[in-house]
Amino acid sequence: MREDEFRSGFVPIVGRPNVGKSTLLNRILGQKVAITSPKPQTTWWRILGIKTRPDAQIVFIDTPGIHRARENFNIHMVKTARESMRDGDVILHIAEAVDPFCEGDEEIRRDLEGRDVPVILALNKVDLLQDEGKLREIVERSQALFPYAKVIPLSALRGDGVQELEEEVVRLLPHGPLYYPEDMVTDQTERVLAAEVIREKIFHLTRQEVPYSCAVVIEEFREEREKSLLYIRAVINVERESQKGILIGKGGRMLKEIGTASRRELEGMFGKKVYLELWVRVQEHWRKKDPILRDFGLIR
């Protein structure tokens, strides 16, 4: 393909918490670069996911869910999501097909007003909406509410409509260069990927406020080539002693379960044996303290 025919650009993925942004990104890329869980606000910062095709390179920007934040760390998360819209050549607004007109989505539409780039609305979880007539009505109402370039119903979980979405994104991208090497899929380092896998297991295995109070920091990450082994030492930072007790569990069972699940996924991800050492440390009210957030790499 001639260089002047190649398309490329940045595509922020924005939406309310838990609408399937990370699931969609993983589906498009064909591999996992963003952690997911049934709980809202699993994504804590922007993640690049890069899809390179013969005719285009799409640089997706997965973002935290936009919500009415009150706590310090959540305010940083929402700020990150809103700032990502400035970098977009095309913006992808994801909403749930069953309710794309709630106050949260209305607020996102207000954020998008006046932006001089195409915006696509992806109506996710369409498999939960059985009435096709109702779906047509929702599509028409969405187009009347906001000048979307396209409204595409899809299921990120099942893959329905995802290819159509990708083709529409490519069609709307400007002509441009290859921004990243063809074999690069994400900008996350191996250390960050390892920390995120551990954090995902905490989200799946613990309840209530505990996963939101856990910041995982990789303190050591080294390869022992003679043993074909990765040694990873991670510290899980919590805010209170009670959370530390829950995370460790009776006789250390919960921490062992988190470690076992994490190690299995990391071994599949890195293609070698992993020795994973987990520690739990109390850092009181770390979500409220910007210096600690910076030390953890959660804000700049």
Give residue-wise pLDDT tens across range 38-51.
999 999 989 999 99
Chosen CATH of 190-295 out of 3.30.70.1290, 3.30.300.20, 3.30.450.20, 2.40.50.1020 = 3.30.300.20
For the cut 90, the answer to whether the pLDDT of residue 103 exceeds it is: yes
The 3-state secondary structure of 217-277 reads: EEEEEEEEHHHCEEEEEEEEEECCHHHHHHHHCHHHHHHHHHHHHHHHHHHHHHCCEEEEE
Q: In the structure, what pLDDT confidence band is assigned to residue 246 with cuts at 50, 70 and 90?
A: very high
pLDDT of 1 over the 60 cut: no
Residue intervals of the chain classified under CATH 3.30.300.20 are 190-295
Q: Which architecture, in CATH terms, is 3-172? A: 3-Layer(aba) Sandwich (3.40)
Residues of the chain with CATH 3.40.50.300: 3-172
- Binned at pLDDT 50, 70 and 90, residue 79 comes out as very high
Taking the C-alpha atoms of residue 218 and residue 68, their distance in angstroms, rounded to an integer, is: 30
Indicate the SS3 state at residue 299.
coil
Assigned token pair, 253: 């069972």
